[in-house]
Amino acid sequence: MKLAQRIQYLAYDPGVHPKEGGLPGLEVLKKVIGSINLFGIIATVGALALSAVIWAWGHHSGGHQAEQNGKKGTTIAAGVALLLGAANGIVAFFSAMGTQVH
């Protein structure tokens, strides 16, 4: 195989692009994923509240380990909430970036 043919083979576009409506059950899958995301957000609210209580309890009782764990839990829960809320935007951004790769 010549070098030009190898380069042409590597640059070949297979023609596969995301297309809505190609498979049955897509709407059901969207609802399931949306429900999982909602469940995660609700669980994160609980984790944030619990971590804040542990943080406050550790601060007022002099338990430095509990206070640090509460701070850590609060920070992690806030980060998880950020990621869950921005999930659609993050995926859309990287999907758009991926379409620009040639």
Distance CA(70)–CA(49), nearest Å, equals 10
Domain coordinates in residue numbering, the chain? 25-99
Give the model's pLDDT for residue 71. Answer: 97
Chain-centre distance of CA 11, in angstroms? 31
Give the model's pLDDT for residue 99. Answer: 80
Chain-centre distance of CA 46, in angstroms? 19
Give the model's pLDDT for residue 7. Answer: 63
Q: What is the pTM of this model?
A: 0.72
* Both structure tokens of 26: 């897509």
Give the model's pLDDT for residue 3. Answer: 73
Give the model's pLDDT for residue 1. Answer: 61
- For the chain, list residues with pLDDT below 70: 1, 5-15, 102
Give the model's pLDDT for residue 11. Answer: 61
Name the phi and psi angles at 22, rounded to 5. -80, -25
Distance CA(77)–CA(62), nearest Å, equals 23
